[in-house]
Structure 1
Amino acid sequence: MAGLGAEKKIVVVIGGGVAGSLVAKSLQNNANIFLIDEKEYFEITWASLRSMVEPSFAKRSVISHSEYLSAVVNITDTDVLTKKGSQIPYDYLVVATDHTQNSASTKTEKISQY
C-alpha cells in the first residue's frame, strides 16, 4: 500500500469480529490502522459450541481487545466519530460490523453466558 518514502494511508476498520480483525491484521504493516469495536472482546465464534459444554474453554475463546473499545456514532466522507469523542480521519474505511446475537458487551459477561 505504501511505497518507499510514501506516507502510510489511514485505514479505519469498524468491527472487531473475525472479518474486521483479519483486515486490520493483514494491513497493519502497510497502513496506519484504527480498529474500532464497541465490545471489549473478540470472540472465536466457531468455539462457542465447545464453550457451552466446557465453560472453562470460553476463557480461551473470548479474547480482550479493549485498547480500542468504543462505538461509532457518526461517519462522514472523511472521518469517523466515536462515542468517546474521538474524531478519526481516514483514507479508507472498512465496515465489518458483527451480528448482534446477544447483549454481552464485556468479556466477563460473555464468559458467564457459557
Structure 2
Amino acid sequence: MIEQPRNVEPPDRRDQLPLEGQPLIADARLSLFPVAIGDVGRDARAPIVPSSLANQRVLSQVLVPLALGGQCIGVMIFSAVSHAIAFRPDQLEVAQTIASQTAIAIQ
C-alpha cells in the first residue's frame, strides 16, 4: 500500500510537523475523518514541511486522525513518493485501522 522507501532514513524529532498553520491537519483533527491529497504540488492546503523533509518529494498524502472517545490525540500522515495516487477507499480503510490501533496503543 504505502511504505517508506528502504533507502530513506526516518525523520528525527527536528523534522516534526508544527500543528500551527496546517489547514489539512486541522481538518483531520476537527472532522475525525481522513483527508486525502492526490497531488500535493497542486493543493495549497498541503502540509508545510520542514526543509529537511522537502527533499523526499512527497506527491500524495492522506492525513488520518488518531481518535479516542471522539477526541483527536494526533494525526498520522501517510505519503506516496514514487508517484501521485488517488487513495482508494480500501487504502483509506487500512490507514484508519492503523491509526485506530495506534491511538489505542498510545492510550
TM-score range, shorter chain: under 0.3
What TM-score, normalized to structure 2?
Answer: 0.22
What's the TM-score once normalised by structure 1's chain length? 0.22
Per residue, is there more strand in 1 or in 2?
1
- Between 1 and 2, higher relative CO (CA 8 Å, sep ≥ 6) is seen in 1
